[in-house]
Amino acid sequence: MILRAALCGLVVVLVTALGAVAAPPALPETPLAPFELLYARPFTLAEPMEYLWSKERPMVTSGWLLVLEVDPAVAYPRQTALPVLYAGDQVAHYAMKGYPSGRIVAVVPARIDLQSAPIWFGTPTLPEQVDQAIIQAEEVLAREAGIGPFPSGVVEAALAAGGPELVLNSSLDLEALGRELHVRYLEPAALK
């Protein structure tokens, strides 16, 4: 009898714990600006990569590697449509997830002007369904919501944190750097 009660109690505890872990945080309303631009580094690839995170699927030879501080609910990994990260007229790819830290590593597949281009999360969808018409419509919504580029001082600090242009052989090298940034910026030891 005592063993049965103990097992029932254990089952209740496990079910409660699993339910708490399994429930993802609600997605925030979009458009939504990142809280901070922490790192920005330009890159060039010797071997072009096919960029799968937009409808056009361009071949990419240069762009930006960014670390952004965002609402942690946006950074929660999900198997469904997510708020798409836009950087100027590009769809940016979350190279590494950042939940619960709220920091994400992202690849921008072009050399946008970080001083003038807004960065924001738009309407949830699959990024590979996004074309230039959708990007333009989403940018209108972002600007109407008051989202603009980061202040010049923030961009300069992120560029200083990033360092000089990286010349890499392939997307594999870019992924390796993304993993290094994940450890540096996203792991608990890196958090304030």
- Express each pLDDT in 99-134 by its tens digit: 888 999 999 999 999 999 999 999 999 999 999 999
DSSP string, the chain: -HHHHHHHHHHHHHHHHHHHHHSPPPPPPSSB--SEEEEEEEEEEEEEEE--SSTT--EEEEEEEEEEE--TTTTS--SS-EEEEEETTEEEEEEE--TTTTEEEEEESS---TTT--EEEEEEE-GGG--HHHHHHHHHHHHHTT--PPPHHHHHHHHHHH-SPEEESSHHHHHHHHHHHIIIIISGGG--
- Express each pLDDT in 39-53 by its tens digit: 999 999 999 999 998
Write down the domain spans for the chain: 25-190
Its pTM stands at 0.84
